[in-house]
Structure 1
Amino acid sequence: MNTIKVYYLDSASSFLKELIGNRLRDYLQGEKVPFLYEKATIGALKRSPRFQYVFKNHLPEDEEFIIVLLALIPHLLPDFFTEIIADFLQEGGELPEFGGIKGNHHRGIIPTGETALFVLSGKDLEKRSRMAQLLSSDSWLVKNNILSLEPVPETEPRCSGRLVLNEEASEYLLTGKISRPKFSLEFGAEFLATEQSWDDLVLNPHTVNQIREIEIWLRHNQTLLNDWGMKNKLKPGYRALFHGPPGTGKTMTAMLIGKYTQREVYRVDLSKIVSKYVGETEKNLSKIFDKGQNKDWILFFDEADAIFGKRTNVKDAHDKYANQEVAYLLQKIEQYTGLVILASNLKSNIDEAFTRRIHTIIYFPKPTPEERVQIWKRTFPAQVKFEPDLDLEEISLNYELTGANIVNVVHKVCLELLSRNTVMLSNELLIENIKKEYLKEGKMI
């Protein structure tokens, strides 16, 4: 808390209070106070670790930084602007030139674009015009998703919109951390993590080699782009397609890639993303891609066929909008700078336009009998002992199960052993539960 107090409550508020006070003395009292500020103070603030994190290690112009401070200060001191204006308007009255609005819950003044123009430019129309460019849609602050102007009705001046500091930026400046987004209707992606390791996952050797290519990209791509000068020659991001039968390790692989490359993995829930309403699917997807951009998130689209499937011939308006969604996805995926993994049971279900843009296509086959033996042995806890007539090699040869099937069987068997107060597993009990797993999936033995 001491660091926050020094950087923000003291330095930032004192700096802004003096700056705004000088502007109001000039504007209301005719005192020709030069628009000067302590360069050392603003320089130290701009270079502080938290601001540098928010600014992505970029050093903003002084005016850009002041706009960010104006947007931040109500989060720290709700009465900040009210008190300053009250000192100059002791008999009451309004100051529309200052801008600002009242919120639904916040009882102080919330700064608007007009507030920024007033503080930075006063009555200087030429300078106001230049400062307005710092709030335009193609400005550095807006393009880097640090700050924006809240949209207003077309009939009202654009700069009367509220200064909106990015939610993650304000949280980091206040607390020094960024919370993971919560899985909800507003954010249809779920954080994935695992306690398991690569030793717990048994995969085909060819599959393992291809996965290694992804890890190599994650570890060395920034060096290739920046230090080796390939930034202007290569498109950002990496796209992979995992395909194969259910239960063969596609999701677990995505989680382990994230774990061992120190990246967060988010599984996109297509049931929350895809909407029957025109434009809603694109809007929902945009939230996820925009949040993940520049965070090194791994975006994992399970059952990707639902949204990355083949486009249809346009027969009606529904087909037209469905194809537009696919085109939008193509654009967002190509712009995403991190790793996108599409998972599908069948490679042939994915639209060719996507497969052409995919860097690597990895097949996850059902495990061989030899691989099934390894999975059985690695899945059973050390407490379980096998009766002499139980032969895991024979079980693996006779019953074609995926890794997920085997985990399910082991889970049921272990619970059964605990209920019987024993650790000895018989051949009969294991086969009985294997048959249940077959029946569950509608298969005959």
Structure 2
Amino acid sequence: MVSKAHDNAQTIQLELDWLQQILKARSALNGNPASGPSDLLQIPAPELQGLDSAYSDLVRKLRLGPEERFLLILAAVPHIRPQLLDMFMSRNQLTQQIYTEFGGRKGKSHNGFIPTGETVLFILAGNDLKKRFQYQNLLDSTGVLFRENLLRLGEVEPEESFLNGTLTISREVLDQITTGKVQKPAFNSEFPAQRLQTPLSWEDLVLPEETWMQLRELEVWLKHKDFLMKEWKMSRILKPGYKALFFGPPGTGKTLTAALLGKKMGVDVYRIDLSRLVSKYIGETEKNLSKVFDRAERQGWILFFDEADALFGKRTSVSDAHDRYANQEVSYLLQRIEDYDGLVILATNLKNNLDDAFMRRFQASIFFPMPQSEERLILWEKGFPEQAKLEPKIDLPTIAASHELSGGGIVNVIQHSLLMALENEDKVIRLEDIREGIRREYQKVGRTI
């Protein structure tokens, strides 16, 4: 890791030196238009052949030319060497404001200069209108850096020019080309997704054969999706991605299955916290969702939406502005799910609560039923630690046959009985504690033993 970070530093330094030459040339041209080349990208970019770094790998992989490399390093500068852009902080003596043609913004907690689309065009085109229009194409969303979500222009107010948006580099690309280690995003109000992980394995998951067969199709899709869409050119017929519905009672393994799928296939799984989606600030919900989807698309995550009926349930008539805005949020989310080229899993306890029009969007609808007697016995037997001692009168086959519990419910009962056993001097698990745990689980759903 240290070696990679060292190699990255050498390569980035070359790019920074190149950018500084361009900035000096722009400054000189402003004072004397005949002082240098009119096209600043004629200043040769560093030769990266033979350099082994994440940055040079990225340049080669995406076949980035001088224009794209200029954009990439300019977007990275505020995070790497912010003082390089201090020249743009000078103020117009008449207005006491930063010169309008510089573009740029000051961050909320960053005192330095943050470049915008206007900054890009000022550096490359100056006052040359023809060149301005030419280089404006670099900021088109179809450009490779924007298409691959490595860069983005920040949102602006409707009446503002889109070029006033800040030029932003994705966090994972920045991590990769600097430290060489991509950080996992933190779960918070602005990033309403949490990574799902589990120490368990497929052997710990007890499901009926029909459910296993349907899950196998998800594995096969994750394994062969690129070949299916690119080599067999099925992208002309099939919509991007794969959408699956997991439905069934609570505690039947829906969340665990999503985590295990990612674990087996080597793909990160992120659960979207639906309770955090609806923001009291108009537009914030879409902005936060955009952060999740943009990063997921770059990293190929599996996205898992729990309690899907909370947002995608059957809707009644719109009665006020809040309802209308909620519908806009749902429409935005639906569109992002529709366009997502990875695996999206939505989970619900009640399939019938979902809107029929939404149901048609799924390629798979997988039922997670309550376990039957034989499956419950496996869960009971696997749930207790090997070193645990059960008192002789505990008959697990009878308990499994007599008490209808989900896998999650059985785990709760086992935990209760283990905790009670730890309070006993002999550490033996007692039947009465198992029965008490079962009574509590039944009480949760209004049942009695």
Q: Aligned partners of 2:400 and 2:161: how far apart in 1?
A: 72
Counterpart selection for 1:253 from 257, 262, 265: 257
Distance 1:283-1:420 versus aligned 2 partners, 3 A rule: same
Query: For each residue in 1:11-43, what CA deviation from the matched residue of structure 2 results, as whole angstroms up to 9, or x when unmatched?
Result: 11211122333333344245443343335x255
Q: Aligned partners of 2:158 and 2:377: how far apart in 1?
A: 68
1:382 alignment counterpart: 386
Report the 3-state secondary structure (helix = DSSP H, G, I; strand = E; otherwise coil) of the residue aligned with 2:82.
Answer: coil
> 1:280 Cα shift?
4.9
Question: Percentage identity across aligned positions?
Answer: 45
**Structure 1 contact 46–65 (Cα < 8 Å) conserved:** no
Q: Aligned partners of 2:251 and 2:184: how far apart in 1?
A: 28
1:91 alignment counterpart: none
Query: For each residue in 1:250-275, what CA deviation from the matched residue of structure 2 results, as whole angstroms up to 9, or x when unmatched?
Result: 11111101111111111111111134
Counterpart mapping for 1:88-127 below 5 A: 98-127=102-131
- Amino acid corresponding to residue 185 of structure 1 in structure 2: S
Distance 1:73-1:42 versus aligned 2 partners, 3 A rule: farther
How many residue pairs are counted as aligned between the two chains? Answer: 436
> 1:347 Cα shift?
1.2
Report the 3-state secondary structure (helix = DSSP H, G, I; strand = E; otherwise coil) of the residue aligned with 1:191.
Answer: strand
Distance 1:294-1:161 versus aligned 2 partners, 3 A rule: closer
Counterpart mapping for 1:33-432 below 5 A: 33-34=36-37, 35=40, 36-39=42-45, 41=46, 44=49, 48-50=53-55, 52-53=57-58, 57-82=61-86, 98-151=102-155, 159-275=163-279, 279-314=283-318, 317=321, 319-432=323-436
> 1:330 Cα shift?
2.6
> 1:247 Cα shift?
0.8
Q: Aligned partners of 1:106 and 1:276: how far apart in 2?
A: 26
Greater Cα offset, 200-209 or 420-429: 420-429
Query: For each residue in 1:310-362, what CA deviation from the matched residue of structure 2 results, as whole angstroms up to 9, or x when unmatched?
Result: 13245555554444444333322110111111111121111111211101111
Greater Cα offset, 357-366 or 27-36: 27-36
**Structure 1 contact 101–111 (Cα < 8 Å) conserved:** yes
2:19 alignment counterpart: 16
**Structure 1 contact 311–326 (Cα < 8 Å) conserved:** no
- Amino acid corresponding to residue 14 of structure 1 in structure 2: D
Distance 1:384-1:327 versus aligned 2 partners, 3 A rule: same
Greater Cα offset, 388-397 or 307-316: 307-316
**Structure 2 contact 314–353 (Cα < 8 Å) conserved:** yes
Q: Aligned partners of 1:145 and 1:382: how far apart in 2?
A: 49
Greater Cα offset, 382-391 or 364-373: 382-391
- Amino acid corresponding to residue 44 of structure 2 in structure 1: E
Q: Aligned partners of 1:223 and 1:166: how far apart in 2?
A: 27
Q: Aligned partners of 2:284 and 2:101: how far apart in 1?
A: 38
Q: Aligned partners of 1:399 and 1:152: how far apart in 2?
A: 59
Q: Aligned partners of 1:315 and 1:84: how far apart in 2?
A: 50
**Structure 1 contact 298–340 (Cα < 8 Å) conserved:** yes
**Structure 1 contact 269–301 (Cα < 8 Å) conserved:** yes
Q: Aligned partners of 1:219 and 1:83: how far apart in 2?
A: 50
Greater Cα offset, 249-258 or 168-177: 168-177
**Structure 1 contact 150–164 (Cα < 8 Å) conserved:** yes
Q: If the length of structure 1 is used for normalisation, what is the TM-score?
A: 0.88
Query: For each residue in 1:268-313, what CA deviation from the matched residue of structure 2 results, as whole angstroms up to 9, or x when unmatched?
Result: 1111113466655444433322331232211111111100111324
2:94 alignment counterpart: none
Report the 3-state secondary structure (helix = DSSP H, G, I; strand = E; otherwise coil) of the residue aligned with 2:114.
Answer: coil
Distance 1:70-1:433 versus aligned 2 partners, 3 A rule: closer
Distance 1:219-1:417 versus aligned 2 partners, 3 A rule: same
Ranges in structure 1 where 5+ consecutive residues have no aligned partner: 87-93
Ranges in structure 2 where 5+ consecutive residues have no aligned partner: 91-97
Q: If the length of structure 2 is used for normalisation, what is the TM-score?
A: 0.87
Report the 3-state secondary structure (helix = DSSP H, G, I; strand = E; otherwise coil) of the residue aligned with 2:152.
Answer: strand
**Structure 2 contact 54–180 (Cα < 8 Å) conserved:** no
Distance 1:274-1:179 versus aligned 2 partners, 3 A rule: same
Q: Aligned partners of 2:182 and 2:233: how far apart in 1?
A: 31
How big is the alpha-carbon RMSD for the aligned residues of Structure 1 and Structure 2? Answer: 3.0
2:28 alignment counterpart: 25
> 1:419 Cα shift?
1.1
Report the 3-state secondary structure (helix = DSSP H, G, I; strand = E; otherwise coil) of the residue aligned with 1:184.
Answer: coil
